């Protein structure tokens, strides 16, 4: 998966990142596979429109109109049964991403949802789940043990509480 930005003529950002008409705080960057980037490269630049995929009128898609005019007929023509909702692509992305090894943490950021929600719906698919953790720990246990491997630079060097100088004689 790659992540990149393209500049269209006129300086508008034509990005490989999926964005929607949301407040700036909720814009998300989503990595796209090479095949998707290649398809986007085939699109002719439009200096008059900052949108990567504008509607026929040059504005944002009307999702209700898109579903009835394009989404449903395309599925019927492709023989897809049962028909899927556009929203189902979100589930498909999450499933493919986790099976590819993307962490639940990264996926939650890409999808703009909480880690708890990702874990609840897709945790069983995650490689960073319990079974994966056990495999990683077992693989690490097979290496030469180093009792100081967990020491960190911030671990304080405290003097021992008891030493020979504290001893009471008799």
At residue 167 the predicted structure's pLDDT band, cuts being 50, 70 and 90, is low
Checking if the pLDDT of 83 tops 80, the result is yes
Instruction: State residue 11's pLDDT score.
Output: 40
First to last CA, the chain: 74
- Distance, in Å, from the CA atom of 2 to the CA atom of 10, rounded to the nearest integer, reads 24
- Distance, in Å, from the CA atom of 59 to the CA atom of 94, rounded to the nearest integer, reads 28
- Distance, in Å, from the CA atom of 96 to the CA atom of 148, rounded to the nearest integer, reads 39
- Distance, in Å, from the CA atom of 28 to the CA atom of 34, rounded to the nearest integer, reads 19
Which residues 6+ apart lie within 8 Å of 49 measured at CB?
12, 58
Instruction: State residue 146's pLDDT score.
Output: 62
pLDDT digits (tens, 9 = 90+) for 112-122: 999 999 989 98
The DSSP string of 33-83 is -HHHHHHHHTSPP-TT---SS--TTSS---HHHHIIIIIHHHHHHHT-SS-
Secondary structure (H, E, C), 77-108: HHCCCCCCCCCHHHHHHHHHHHHCCCCHHHHH
13's enclosing H/E stretch is strand 13-15
At residue 131 the predicted structure's pLDDT band, cuts being 50, 70 and 90, is confident
- Distance, in Å, from the CA atom of 107 to the CA atom of 32, rounded to the nearest integer, reads 13
State how beta strands 5-7 and 13-15 pair. Answer: antiparallel
| pLDDT, greater one: 120 or 18 | 120
Instruction: Read off the pLDDT of each residue in 12-39 and give the average, rounded to a whole number.
Output: 65
């Amino acid at each position: 998966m790659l992540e990149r930005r393209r500049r269209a003529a006129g300086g508008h950002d034509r990005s490989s990142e999926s964005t929607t008409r949301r407040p700036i705080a909720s814009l998300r960057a989503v990595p796209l596979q090479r095949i998707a980037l290649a398809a986007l490269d085939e699109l002719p630049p439009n200096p008059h429109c900052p949108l990567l995929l504008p509607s026929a009128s040059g504005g944002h898609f009307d999702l209700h109109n898109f579903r009835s005019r394009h989404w449903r007929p395309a599925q019927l023509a492709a023989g897809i049964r049962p028909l899927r909702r556009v929203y189902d692509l979100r589930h498909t992305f999450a499933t493919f991403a986790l099976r590819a090894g993307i962490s639940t943490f990264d996926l939650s950021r890409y999808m703009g949802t909480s880690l708890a929600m990702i874990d609840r719906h897709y945790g069983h698919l995650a490689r960073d789940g319990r079974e994966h953790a056990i495999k990683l720990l077992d693989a690490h246990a097979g290496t030469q043990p180093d009792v100081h491997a967990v020491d960190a630079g911030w671990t304080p060097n405290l003097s021992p509480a008891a030493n020979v100088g504290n001893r009471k004689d008799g």
